[in-house]
Every structure is written in structure tokens, then in C-alpha cells.
Amino acid sequence: MLDLSREHGAFRAVVRDFAEKEIAPNVAQWDHDHQYPVEIVHAMGDLGLMGLTSPESLGGAGDDGDFVSLCLAIEEIGRVDQSLGVTLEAAVGLGINPILTFGTPEQQERWLPDLVAGRALAGFGLTEPGAGSDAGATRTRAELDGDEWVVNGAKQFITNSGSPITSLVTVTARTGQRENGSAEISTVVIPAGTPGFLVEPSYDKLGWHMVDTHPLSFTDCRVPQDHLLGERGRGYAQFLSTLDDGRVAIAALAVGLLQACVDLSVEYAGQRQTFGGPIGRKQGVAFQIADVEVMLQASRLLTYRAAAMKDAMTRGASGAPTAAEFKHAASIAKLYATESAVTATRIATQVFGGYGFMEEYPVARFYRDAKILEIGEGTSEVQRMLIARGLGLPVE
């Protein structure tokens, strides 16, 4: 996919206008105060951003939305602020999509309308103190007691899990043991406020200061048996599918950051005067900005290509890629775009010189926010492993 449709272009313009008018004027103060702007989350819902991958019957965009549109929205929000960009990414990719993909019609009708409208948020509880990239090492347990699941365990680094409007968290848990001795992993939905479900105090993070991120604990936490999401024992496969989509969305977030670095660096280099002229005429500065532009264009194409592959699979289009081909493309986009974004923020900060180290300039915030892109939704090391496997290499 090299060119966006006219509709995608118009949609991008709408989201960009929203981001520049509603987010940009306030984001520095929100970041400084570690303030969670609930009103902006609701506004993103009112704009339809939460429902871009959902059917009209649940309040979503239906045929007017697709995964490319979601990536465009994440990119444009992320160009102004990464915290709100990832809040949108997690709200849809980790909150809505697992229920939309694996939930029963009754579960979808029960939980999705508020999530799709942006009236509520949901988290996805995968990572644990001893189980991050090694998700098979999950220790949280869910045992069936009569007609209820009893959940015990802990999760960490869970986005949108303790906000004022969080309505539920979907968690992976051991529900038994397979004949080969491996853990049976299933997925259970736990509504906010369920007795035994404790949201611990939020983290003091290097970046993403406006993102709602908490450790969670479950102590004899009981939910009805019908809160099992999807088939019992398929939780591991479900989360792998969820992460494939999420990797493309995080790549889109990185593209937004790359665009911001280009925009800010070009503007500053054209205005900052030294030795009788703008610093942008110096090759040492201009060439670095040119390198960021190359990384931006390559990252955007890789991301749009993977997003278009996802849409082709969803539509069942003729010649649509296989799940393995999409997984390969998702990892490539995520790896290249996120590592490029980290490099771009370092270059942009250097272009700004001493001012780049000052929090009053957005490049300082972007520099702090960038690093997590190489970690969340699968580290760079995990992406290289998946890409190598996709090439047929027997990498462990």
C-alpha cells in the first residue's frame, strides 16, 4: 500500500485538526502534572476513534472504518502526544479487540458499547513479575469452583487498568495442565470493582506520564463462569493474535513520533541562528534531519503495508496474506519504526542543543517517551526472533 484513499486522507485531516486544537495546547502541562485527561479520552470516543474496528451494531464505524484508519488516528494523536496515542492504541487493540474477536455475541453486547463509545476503557492483563516476553511462564491461576472462576495472582505494567473510567480487565491465567505437562492458559474477563481485584498505585514512569499504568493483584477474586473469553485453553493463542495487531499499532505510534521529530527539527533548524545564519544550512545538522526523514518514510510504508494486510485478511479479500505473512510484516514494521523513533528523538534533541534538554520543548518529552516503544508489545529482541523464524531459521 503506497497511497492512501481520499477517504483516508480526509480522515487523517480530521484527526490532525482534533489533535492540534484539543491536545497540543495543554499537553505539556498535563505531562508535567502527570494528569490523566479523561475529557480527551471521551472526546476521542465522541470522534469515533475507539470504534474504528467495530461493527455498527456495537456503535462502531462498520464499513467506514478499518485497521488502516486506526493506525492513522494513532499516528496523528502520537504526533502531538505519545501518551494519548498509546491510550487510544491500548483502548482499541488491547481493550476492545480481544472481546470483539473472541467474545460471544452476549459478551460483546454486554461490554463493548461503552468501550466503543469511549465512555469506558479496558485493560489487557498479560505481563507478570516473572512472565513478560516468556508469557508461557504465567503464574496467575483461575480455578473453576461451581459456576465461578476463582482468580489468584498478579499482573504488572497494565495500561488503562485503573483509570476513572476503566470498566474491566481481561487477564490470562492458568486454568489447568495439558497432558504434555504444559500449562493450560485461558483468558478471563474481570470487571472493575470485583471483590479481590486490587489496582495497585500507579507507576512513576520515565515517560508516558499521562498513561494509566498499574500493577494488579487478585486474591480469591470470583467472576461468573461465563466471563471466560473464547475457548478454554486458547488464551495463549489469543494473546499472540492480539499482539500481532498491537505491534502494527505501536509502529503507527512510532511513525507519529518520527513525524514530530522531522517537523520540530526542520522548524528549529530554519530559525536558530549561529555564525550569521540558520543552523539548517550546516551539513552536520541538515544531514541528520535528512536521515530522520528517510527513517520516517520507510517506517510509514512498512506500517501502512502491514495495516493493509490486516484489513485484507479481515475482509477475506482474494489473495489476502496468511496469518504467518501478516505476523512477519507486523514484526518488521514494529522493529524498524520503533528503533527509528528512538534514534530520531536523540537526533532531534541534539539539533535543539541545550534547549532540547529543557522540558519546555516537546523534544524532551518525546525523548523520554520513545524508549518504551522498543519494549512494549514485544521487545526488539522478540521481534528479531520472530522475523528470523519467519525466514525459516531455527532460532530459539
Task: List active site positions.
Answer: 377
Half-sphere exposure of 211 (CA within 13 A, CB side): 26
Q: What are phi and psi of 21, to 5 degrees?
A: -90, -40
Beta strands in 251-361 (DSSP E): 273-274, 277-278
Q: Measured on CA atoms in the order 339, 342, 348, 354, is the torsion positive or negative?
A: negative
Strand partners, 149: 144, 223
DSSP letter, residue 48: T
Task: Answer for the pair 78, 256: CB distance below 8 angstroms, yes or no.
Answer: yes
Cα–Cα dist 308/333, whole Å: 12
Helix axes 82-90, 362-370, angle to 10 degrees: 40
Strands 273-274 vs 213-224: parallel, antiparallel or unpaired:
unpaired
Q: What are phi and psi of 35, to 5 degrees?
A: -90, 135
Per the structure block, which three cell numbers stand in for 246? 498491537
How far does CA 175 lie from the centroid of its chain? 27
Cα–Cα dist 311/320, whole Å: 9
Beta strands in 225-288 (DSSP E): 273-274, 277-278
Q: Report, in this order, helix, strand and coil percent for the chain, each rounded to 5.
A: 60, 15, 25
> What per-residue string of b and e applies to 81-115 under the rule 16 or more CB within 10 Å gives b?
bbbbbbbbbbbbbbbbbbbbebbeeebbebbbbbb
Q: Among 332, 325, 328, 272, which Cα is nearest to 299's?
A: 332
Cα–Cα dist 4/288, whole Å: 28
User: Collapsing DSSP states into helix, strand and coil, what is residue 49?
Assistant: helix
